[in-house]
Structures are given as C-alpha cells and as structure tokens.
Amino acid sequence: MTKELSEDSTMQVSLKTLGGIAFLIATLVGMWFTLQNDIAEARELPKPTDPVITRMEFDMKDKLIRQTIMNTQEYLTKEEYDFCFAYDKDIRKDTTFVGLSEGNTYLNLNVYSEHDHEKRGEDDVNNDLPF
C-alpha cells in the first residue's frame, strides 16, 4: 500500500529542522554576497606588473657569480676568464694560461695548490699535454 502525494497530503517538519534549513540558506546567501564583494574589489585593484630587477640586485648577483667562479674552479675556460676579467682587471695576477687540449684554459691560482698537485703524483702542470 503506497501513499500518493496530492494537494491534501501533509508533511510534518519540526521547528528545529526549519531553523536549520533557514540557517543553511542564510549562510549560503552570505557567502555568495561576500564572494561577489571580493570579486568587485579585486577588479578595482591595479593589475600586477612584471617583476623589476634593480641595478643593485643585478650587480650583486653578477659579483656572486664571479666570486663563485674564482673561489671554486681550478681551471677556467676562456669564457669564464673573460667574464671575470670584464669585472676585475687584476684577474691576471690570480690566473695563468695553461692552454690544455680542451681549448684555452686558465689555471686559477686562488684555488690551485701545490700540495694537492703533489698528492696526486703529478710532477708538472703540463704533463697531460699531447706534445
């Protein structure tokens, strides 16, 4: 036996349930208006610009790259040498041209150590040259 729904059908809903439904609807409506307000506010804000690198920031990074090269690499390529030489003309005091088979190579005297050279059993800087 099934009941059919009609105009005369009744349904019992407690006040607690009605209050919960009203609270849910009020919350959703409040969230909707808050969201619409945030969207309108965002439209009025200026558009973000591309990040600008200041001259000081560029110079600091450039100096850091040169210091890293001069403090860590035993052999410098021609490009690295030219890069560091453009900044510091005194780099000639800290390097010497060895011209290994890979191309124009400079020995970085800031990093090179005779002790390490002797420890590896090498007697001459040029012993691995083909001539």
pLDDT at 46: 87
pLDDT at 103: 65
- Structural tokens at position 72: 């860590």
Cα 53 from Cα 87, distance rounded (Å): 20
Question: Residue 91 class from Cβ within 10 Å (0-12 exposed, 13-18 middle, 19+ buried)?
Answer: buried
pLDDT at 8: 81
Q: Cα–Cα distances in Å, from 96 out to 14, 19, 42, 84, 99?
A: 93, 87, 60, 14, 9
pLDDT tens sequence for the chain (131 residues): 577 878 888 888 899 999 999 999 999 999 999 999 999 999 998 887 877 888 888 889 888 888 888 777 777 888 888 877 787 777 777 777 777 656 668 777 777 665 555 555 544 444 454 44
Sorted by where each begins, the domain ranges of the chain are 14-48, 55-119
Residues 110 and 71: beta-carbon distance below 8 Å: yes
Q: What residue ranges in the chain does DSSP mark as E strands?
A: 75-77, 95-97, 105-108
Give, as one character, the DSSP assignment of residue 7.
T
Rounded to two decimals, the pTM is 0.40
Strand-pairing partners, residue 75, are 107
* Chain position carrying tokens 């390097």: 95
pLDDT at 23: 97
pLDDT at 20: 95
